[in-house]
Amino acid sequence: MVLKGESTTKLVEIDASHRMLLKFVTECFLQKGRGSDQPSAYHKLVLYFLASFNMCWAIKEGIRSKRKQIPCGRLLSEIFTQGQLVRTLKNLGKASDKFLRIRTGKIINGKTLQYMKIIKKFSPSEKDLKESTAPTQLMNDFPPILKEKNPEVLNKLIAEFVKETGGIMVDDDTPAGSDEVPLQVRRKRTNTEDGSEASSAQTKKSKVDKSEAPNQVVSSASKKRRKVDSSSLVNQDKLAEARIERAKKMKAFKQKYEGPDFEMTPEKAREAQEQAKSMIAARKKEKEALQAARDAKLKSIGIDGSSDFLEEKLEEMSKITETVEKLAVKEAVMMLEKIPEASEVVASEAAPGFATKENQTSALPSSTPTLSSPSNDSDQDDIPIG
Amino acid sequence: MNLDALIATQEMFPYFHMLNGPTYVELVKDFWVRAEVYDEEAANNEEHQAVIRDPSLKGKTREEMGLETFSQTEIRSAVMGVPVTITEEIIAKACRVEAEGRFI
């Protein structure tokens, strides 16, 4: 009709009223996402937009970016009804009307136009469409949307889902109208000269103070108030700094752990924290068990497993080694004194490693060994070549 | 402006009648968070994954790989743990229109 039956008709060739109509249809009824995508007249309009373009695009966008809008909510609900999913869940006792949170869409009618001041007077008629919460009649030839129809299997699947997610609300135990909480409108925050956020009430107060008493002596009450104001401003600055730091940390954390397939959400972070805690607790238990087993083994041998005992033993060992070293040196000296010739020969022929016992002992490390290497020894490094 | 003629030509009156009905918010949300599009690209990816897992499957058909035949684009998800599949035919049926094209 708009294109006069020819799919190749250009946009400029269409009548002005039809062009507007086309714009109206393409931008209101058949909504498209942001971008320059334009529906082609060759496409199956409804199916193309709803199935291939709109829903699939929205799902892909939701996965790729953080798009949160759900298109075709009513159409999906209709599919659930006609596909007998709602009936199956109700029959299994897994979903009550309250849990399903039934909503109806808003209707644009003459009253809306009157509010918009497009028409002056609205006269309602009996034929006007009214919001309906009644489900539509089931179609006999509706294609199945559930691959599994066995109630036992479905029950098991739902039970698993309940285990994973922490339960569903089956009974009508929520207070009536709990989901009809009025929308909270965020207050606008004014920015002060310093760039810090201050509530409008505070700025108003300060303005009043300035205008009312420019030349008056500042009373103690106003002083106190100002003190409180300044302290609250400091607190706000601190809070802002903390917020910035936290945002930075979160960004770094996200960069570290997030990938194209994984996105860190507060829930996931909480889960990870809980898991880490449980793992740490398990490791602690393992460590304690190992220590207990070691102590028991040592006790069975007759050794006290405490650290004091080990220190004592180490001290004893060092004393024994010292005495043994001293005795060995003494004996060697005595032997050399008895045979002076042999000592001379040994001194002249022996390698530096076989020098006198005294030298050897002096070369030996003291009770505390050092890790320093003898690479700085000039005797070995400064050997002339040839 | 009278839109009746356009909507009648597009056979969209039943669609607008259908729009006036209940919306199950919880079910729709549950469906949407788990939804994924199973199109030609996803099917190809599935084949590639199968070949990576078992290189001997290279060059074989989907049936030989043990995969389901790809016939059309599907939206796959789960509602309360129950697997749900939506195809173009289902959407057309829910809109009360034939799964055929029509020029404006």
pLDDT tens for B72-102 read: 888 999 888 889 999 888 888 888 877 765 5
pLDDT tens for A164-208 read: 776 554 444 433 333 433 334 444 454 444 444 444 444 444 444
In a domain, A185, yes or no: no
Q: Which chain B residue is nearest to residue A161, measuring alpha carbons?
A: B81
Question: Are A106 and A26 found together in one domain?
Answer: yes
Alpha carbon of B43: minimum distance to chain A alpha carbons (Å):
15
Lowest mean pLDDT among A142-146, A257-261, A362-366: A362-366
DSSP conformation letters of A218-269: PPHHHHHHHHHHHHHHHHHHHHHHHHHHHHHHHHHHHHHH--SS----HHHH
Q: What does pTM read for this prediction? A: 0.48
Kindly determine whether residue A74 and residue B23, on different chains, have CB atoms separated by under 8 Å. Answer: yes
The pLDDT, as a whole number, for residue A326 is 92
| Total beta-carbon pairs less than 8 A apart between chain A and chain B | 198
Q: CA dihedral in degrees (B47, B48, B49, B50; nearest 10)? A: 50
Question: Are A67 and A42 found together in one domain?
Answer: yes
Question: Are A301 and A349 found together in one domain?
Answer: no
Question: Are A276 and A156 found together in one domain?
Answer: no
Alpha carbon of B104: minimum distance to chain A alpha carbons (Å):
6
Q: Kindly tell me the number of DSSP H helices and DSSP E strands found in chain B.
A: 6, 4
Question: Are A39 and A156 found together in one domain?
Answer: yes
- Partner residues linked to B86 by β-bridges: B75
The pLDDT, as a whole number, for residue A149 is 78
Kindly determine whether residue B21 and residue A77, on different chains, have CB atoms separated by under 8 Å. Answer: yes
Element containing residue B18 per DSSP (H, E): helix B13-19
The pLDDT, as a whole number, for residue A260 is 64
In a domain, A229, yes or no: no
Is the pLDDT at A267 greater than 70, yes or no? yes
Question: Are A344 and A295 found together in one domain?
Answer: no
pLDDT tens for A325-371 read: 999 999 988 888 877 665 555 555 444 444 444 444 444 444 444 44
Is the pLDDT at A314 greater than 60, yes or no? yes
Question: Are A276 and A351 found together in one domain?
Answer: no
Cα–Cα distance for residue pair B29/B23, rounded to 1 Å: 11
Question: Are A296 and A317 found together in one domain?
Answer: no
CA A363 to chain centre: 61
Q: Which residues of A272-303 are buried (b: 16+ CB within 10 A; e: fewer)?
A: eeeeeeeeeeeeeeeeeeeeeeeeeeeeeeee
Alpha carbon of A211: minimum distance to chain B alpha carbons (Å):
53
Task: Kindly provide the ipTM of the predicted complex, given to two decimals.
Answer: 0.88
In a domain, A195, yes or no: no
| Rounded mean pLDDT, A203-231 | 49
In a domain, A327, yes or no: yes
Element containing residue B12 per DSSP (H, E): none
* DSSP E strand stretches across B21-88: 22-24, 36-38, 74-79, 82-87
Question: Are A348 and A278 found together in one domain?
Answer: no
Contacts of B19 in chain A (CB under 8 A): 74-75, 105
**Which domain does A321 fall in, by range?**
312-364
User: What is chain B's pLDDT, residue by residue, as a tens digit (104 residues)?
Assistant: 667 777 777 677 888 888 888 888 888 998 998 899 998 888 999 899 989 988 888 888 888 888 888 888 889 998 888 899 998 888 888 888 777 655 54
In a domain, A231, yes or no: no
Q: The tokens 């507007």 sit on which residue?
A: A20
In a domain, A27, yes or no: yes
In a domain, A226, yes or no: no
Q: Check residue B57 and report its DSSP letter.
A: G
The pLDDT, as a whole number, for residue A202 is 46
In a domain, A356, yes or no: yes
Q: Based on the structure, what is the number of domains in chain A?
A: 3
Among the listed residues B40, B75, B16, B100, the one whose alpha carbon sits nearest the alpha carbon of residue A28: B16
Q: Which chain B residue is nearest to residue A30, measuring alpha carbons?
A: B12
Question: Are A143 and A20 found together in one domain?
Answer: yes
Element containing residue A12 per DSSP (H, E): none
Question: Are A149 and A287 found together in one domain?
Answer: no
Question: Are A319 and A285 found together in one domain?
Answer: no
Tokens of A46: 């409804």
